Amino acid sequence: MPQNKLILLGTSSGVPQPDRATSGYLLKTGDSLSLLDCGGGVSSSFLRRGLNPADLDRIFITHTHPDHVCELPLMIQMLYLAGRNDEITVYVPKEFVQSLKSYLPAVYLFREKLTFDLNIAGYTPGAVYDELFKLEAIANEHLVGNQGVIEQFGYSNRMQSHCFSIDTGQSKLFYSGDIHSFGDIRDHLDGNDIALIESTHYDLDELLELAPRIKVGKYILTHLGDRAQIDEIHDRIQKTGIDNIVTAFEGMEITFE
Ligand SMILES: [Zn+2]
Ligand SMILES: [Zn+2]
């Protein structure tokens, strides 16, 4: 039985970095590959890991900020050019389905030309996927700051942003996606074997204070800025003496059951 792994493909925040891709995380369960988010640089990072595009089975997108979704068309193109035949499902927030269906032909990714069936599935909070593992979407407030401009100018955006809770039957993983404040994730961390947490949109002290009091196997802090910001986070963790929080890097692999 092949080991289950979380493989970090892109660990940069929404501020692009010269040496790292933006958000992209690969979940390898047995022989099956699932991609969580698909920001800029994720396709190249996927190839740098020596992986075969034909082996990607499904993609889940937490929210539609560019650093989480902008490279989805390129990923689809890569699958197409690799001669993929098997159907693939892309799970996106429901509000994005029509936009994506319009955008793909605009960049000449015509459904009829693809060598595989592309299934675009819009999800809402709750159970998203339940086959090889269970993935549940938990709504968060990350996009609420846009409410004013959306109302004032009549945009149709619904501000759908999610954390993912993943259960393999043996292990529990939590991926924060992007959040609005620590309150979005505080009650969802306890009991996870792996917590992949963004580090941009809340005060890290809130996590460092809670961490020793709840049961989490390993925290991986991701969605990171430049080297100086990573070093600063690293120093803060060191000072607390907490030994199960690490900062993410591209190519990092964490095994789980
Ligand atoms: Zn982001
Ligand atoms: Zn975001």
Q: Which ligand has the shortest distance to the CA of 161?
A: 2
The CATH code of the domain that includes 92 is 3.60.15.10
Q: Which residues contact 151 (CB under 8 A, 6 or more apart)?
A: none
| Domain ranges, residue 48 | 4-256
What pLDDT score was predicted for residue 1?
57
Would you call 67 a catalytic residue per the annotation?
A: yes
Number of domains into which the chain is organized: 1
What pLDDT score was predicted for residue 143?
98
Q: Name the 3-class secondary structure at 136.
A: strand
- CA 255–ligand 2 middle distance (angstroms): 26
Q: Do 35 and 26 touch, CB atoms closer than 8 A? A: yes
What pLDDT score was predicted for residue 2?
67
- CA 83–ligand 1 middle distance (angstroms): 31
What pTM does this model have?
0.97
Instruction: Tell me, rounded to whole angstroms, the distance of Cα 15 from its chain centroid.
Output: 16
9 dihedral zone (left: phi>0; alpha: psi -120 to 50; beta): alpha
**161 CB neighbour count, 10 Å cutoff:** 24
Q: Which ligand has the shortest distance to the CA of 14?
A: 1
24-81 pLDDT, tens digit per residue, is 999 999 999 999 999 999 999 999 999 999 899 999 999 999 999 999 999 999 999 9
- CA 144–ligand 1 middle distance (angstroms): 14
- CA 141–ligand 1 middle distance (angstroms): 13
pLDDT, averaged across the chain: 96
Q: Which of 67, 178, 184, 193 is catalytic?
A: 67
